[in-house]
Amino acid sequence: MSAALTFWRSFAVNRGAVLGLAVMLGLVVLAVLADIAAPYSPIEQFRDSLLTPPVWQEGGTWHYPLGTDDVGRDILSRLIFGARLSLMIGLTVVTLALCLGTALGLTAAFAGGIVDVVIMRTMDVVLVFPSLLLAIVVVAILGPGLFNAMMAVAIVFLPGYTRLVRASALSELARDYVTATRSAGAGTLRLMFNTVLPNCAAPLIVQASLGFSGAILDAAALGFLGLGAQPPTPEWGTMLAGALQYYQRAWWVLTFPGLAILITVLAFNLLGDGLRDALDPKLKR
Amino acid sequence: MALLEIRNLVVEFGRFRAVDGVDLTVEAGEILCVVGESGSGKSVSMLAVMGLIGWPGKVSADVMRFDGIDLLGLSPRARRKLVGRDIAMVFQEPTTSLNPCYPVGWQIAESLRAHNAVPRAQVRDRVIELLDQVGIPAPASRLGAFPHQLSGGMNQRVMIAMAISCNPRLLIADEPTTALDVTIQKQILDLLVDLQSKRGMALALITHDMGVVAETAHRVQVMYAGQMVEEQPTEALFTKPHHPYTAALLAALPERAMGASRLPTIPGMVPGIDDRPVGCLFNPRCGRVQEICRTSAPPLIGEAAKFRCYFPLGESA
Amino acid sequence: MTVVMEARDIRRHYAVGGGLFRPKGVVKSVDGVSFTLRVGQTLAVVGESGCGKSTLARVATMLEPPTSGALLIEGAPATPAAGRQVQMVFQNPYGSLNPRKTVGSILMEPLAINRRGDGPAREAAARAMMAKVGLRPEQFARYPHMFSGGQRQRIAIARALMLGPKVVVADEPVSALDVSIQAQVLNLLMDLQDEFQLAYLFISHDLGVVRHIARDVMVMYLGRPVEFGPKEQVFAWPRHPYTRMLLAATPSVDPRHRKQSITVRGELPSPLNPPAGCAFASRCPHADNRCRNERPEPRDFGGVKVACHYAETIG
């Protein structure tokens, strides 16, 4: 327990990180309680109030605090349900990339030789492509849709995790405590997951929390290009795409989803930076 | 007048006192050894002399004079000029103390240029001469060698060449041989002592190795938990230590325990930040401890042999 | 006395380099080492870095197979299962303990891996071992970073003993410790040796420590033993010029021990390109043409094996 306390102390020093954590917690609460928190359904269309401006602008009404879009859906409700989607996207993508990357990275580090070469060169090939381009290619193969977009982004993220796990596993493998465990007769699986992996956790946690924002951003970009979530799903990137033509007439249709993406990504980046600072000088006293 | 004179040096990192009221004098042309275990403050006190303690460390002293110049009163610029020219330092890890991106010849030349020690045209000749002085074979062909191409011993010779490039009057060597093998250690120590006597410079050698102390020093300071606990000429210290810590340290050497199957040990550990004892810092581990040791800190007493103890060994009284 | 470990002409070679434009080289890290280790005895291997002593330790603990030669444990060829009879204590107590595990789980892990006993039995065994190495019971649930170097080395020693080994290979176990702590750990090692009748393969560069703890001493130079025999004889009457140089180079607090007559010069030759004859010839004050061309084989001098052409005349 005191370890957790020391961790919190070194984390709490960083104001930005605490802010990021607060925003993230807020988003989680909103996402979980979306059904109660949102005033309307995200796909319900109010045909009599198309493109209503937000409440503080002339013509705005408290019925739709952030206004409505071109088919009369309440933007606030769509953003709240969108948070649910974005968090789910981040979680799925990061979990997928993390698990697969950890398995591949550990295998490469422990097996060495030809296995190592094959895994790492494959990852290099994936890295060669610009991330969004690769995601588009993957979606083009799998077909558009939210799930396929998540798969695509996970594949784009895979090399980062694989390389990170391999590098930290290799440096841990060279240390004497691994040798000691091995000379006690430990098998490879035990060495991998019980001995080495926990000691690689710190950089992984940081990478994962930073990866969260990247995943949300990339999924939004795919959505914006029409390759991710399909309308009327209230995904932030898809919302942006649908509103593009109204940017001169109704700024709010475009601005609020953009702000939501910005704030979320910023929060996760701050959180990740804070985690890195708190975890990186390993177990300082 | 002493070459280097320091009174009541204190170095603090937050609430941790790394150096706690140390007096230090180095006479011109002598070899002073500062000996102590890890955490005794021996390196930190020398870094303070060099002005190399950065934030969050705080340095204060009643007196800090080098050759009559008050170091504390100097501007940072004037002090940098003095340090590196008149006071030079050699560190423990030769391979990490050198910049891996530049050839060694260039690095020595840089220190010559920084202090305008010789005219530009003669820099190359001077570097070769320095490498030759520190015993590097075929010096002209080593100018372009990178640190990773040289052995640890050779790198340490390069570090020494850099340190003596501007003819310093005081050379501080911080565990210069700890990372090296014994045969290389012997060569480096011989080189340092040789340079010291030929050039008449003072040498302050920081070490934890009592054998090194016995074979090189003229005078010895023993440090414990940030304080100097004993100071004596070398011969006297090894034959007649006064402070119980010094005596226990010497007794714990395997070399001194010939025949005995178990070594005499010092119980306990060096006090850390949270368990600094009241009174004498050594009292929880001392075999001669009395009531007064637990309540009041003993002052530094004595003339030729200085020590910080109420009940010193080897006193007839 | 029973022999617990026997090494017969152990060699361990590594292929190195082999880049695009460079031919592959072979480093003979250990090149022909034989010894026998008996119950309750200590064999010290001394030499400078690069002499192959740490590779020998890895071969002796079966972490690496020898390129040729045989390692026998209690008379039988070494197998991974027999490897539990040989455990290791490392030099750096900061790297040898898993920072994410408590002392208790570090000590119980070897038992868990080998499925010995159940949970409570393992905990009892770990606690008993902690008491034996001088750790307090309340330290059971603490993490390694809460301990000093000396205490960590006690934990490492306790872990090595959990499987009840016959042989402990100690690779520079005290060289990272301060003098006063070093004495405590050396005493502990000797106490444990008496109690469990352990045989130590004690790797060190510190002749003072070796002289204190060892029964036999093997001096290695560039992968080969140059002098090997009982401690008393090796220290009192060193026959190989390298042994003499090592002794002369070791700083001593006792003025009588200083032998200034021997000059210490030169550095270890590159292991990639070892000399044809005696490896020490380039640094040896007695070397002649024969030394440079013909490798000396170890010869017996009253129980001490010396690999030098001129062992009779030197010393």
Q: What is the mean pLDDT of each run of 10 residues along chain C (315 residues)?
A: 90 79 79 93 91 91 90 86 86 89 93 90 95 92 88 94 94 88 92 95 92 94 94 92 91 72 80 86 90 91 92 78
Q: Give whole-number Cα distances, C20 to A114, A249, A285, B149, C17, in Å.
A: 18, 65, 47, 20, 9
| C83, A183 Cβ separation under 8 angstroms | yes
Residue in B153, B213, B264 closest to C267 by CB: B153
**Contact check, Cβ <8 Å, C109/A184:** yes
Mean pLDDT in residue range B237-248:
92
The token pair at B254 is 């395997």
Return the residue of A nearest to C101 by Cα. A195
Taking the mean position of all CA atoms in its chain, how far away is CA C276? 27
Cα–Cα distance for residue pair C151/B237, rounded to 1 Å: 30
Residue in C83, C96, C143 closest to A185 by CB: C83
Taking the mean position of all CA atoms in its chain, how far away is CA B289? 29
Chains that contact B by 3+ CB pairs under 8 Å? C
Give this complex's ipTM: 0.86
CATH code, A227: 1.10.3720.10
Nearest to A6 by CA among C79, C145, C84, B159: C145
Residues of C in contact with B250 (CB under 8 A): 253
Per-residue pLDDT tens digits for B174-200: 999 888 888 899 999 999 999 999 999
The token pair at C59 is 């071969």
Cα–Cα distance for residue pair C292/C307, rounded to 1 Å: 14
Q: What is the dihedral of CA C79, C85, C91, C93, to 10 degrees?
A: 120
Q: Is residue A28 part of a domain?
A: no
**Contact check, Cβ <8 Å, B263/C212:** yes
| C51, C227 Cβ separation under 8 angstroms | no
- Report A:146-185 residues touching C (Cβ under 8 A): 175-177, 179-185
Domain residues for A93?
A: 33-272
**Contact check, Cβ <8 Å, A184/C95:** no
pLDDT at B316 (0 to 100): 45
pLDDT confidence tier of residue B266, bands split at 50, 70 and 90? confident
Q: Is residue A252 part of a domain?
A: yes
Q: Is residue A113 part of a domain?
A: yes
Residues of A in contact with C65 (CB under 8 A): none
**B235 Cβ contact partners less than 8 Å away, ≥ 6 residues apart:** none
Q: In tens digits, what is the pLDDT along chain A, a chain of 285 residues?
A: 566 787 788 788 888 889 999 998 998 998 888 888 888 888 888 888 788 888 888 877 888 888 888 888 888 888 899 888 888 888 999 999 999 999 999 999 999 889 999 999 999 998 888 888 888 888 888 888 888 888 888 998 999 999 999 999 999 998 999 999 988 888 889 999 989 998 888 888 888 888 888 888 888 888 888 888 887 888 888 888 877 788 788 888 888 888 988 998 899 888 888 887 777 544 443
Nearest to C2 by CA among C38, C36, C34, C37: C38
The distance of C177 to chain B (nearest Cα, Å) reads 9
**Contact check, Cβ <8 Å, B211/C180:** no
Residue in C180, C250, C253 closest to B256 by CB: C253
Residues of C in contact with B261 (CB under 8 A): 190
pLDDT confidence tier of residue B317, bands split at 50, 70 and 90? very low
| B18, B78 Cβ separation under 8 angstroms | no
Q: Is residue A48 part of a domain?
A: yes
Cα–Cα distance for residue pair A138/A263, rounded to 1 Å: 28
pLDDT at C259 (0 to 100): 57
Per-residue pLDDT tens digits for A123-168: 999 888 888 888 888 888 888 888 888 888 899 899 999 999 999 9
Residues of C in contact with B256 (CB under 8 A): 253-254
Cα–Cα distance for residue pair A93/A228, rounded to 1 Å: 13
Angle, CA B84 vertex, CA B34 and CA B193 arms, to 5°? 45
Q: Is residue A135 part of a domain?
A: yes
Residues of C in contact with B185 (CB under 8 A): 249, 251
Residues of A in contact with C90 (CB under 8 A): 176, 179-180
Q: Is residue A95 part of a domain?
A: yes
The position carrying tokens 């989680």 is A28
The distance of A154 to chain C (nearest Cα, Å) reads 29
Nearest to A150 by CA among A211, A219, A217: A219
Q: Is residue A214 part of a domain?
A: yes
pLDDT at B304 (0 to 100): 81
- DSSP result, B209-274: -HHHHHHH-SEEEEEETTEEEEEEEHHHHHHS--SHHHHHHHHTSGGGGTT-SS-----S----SS
Q: Is residue A110 part of a domain?
A: yes
Count: domains in chain A: 1
- Does residue B232 have a pLDDT over 80? yes
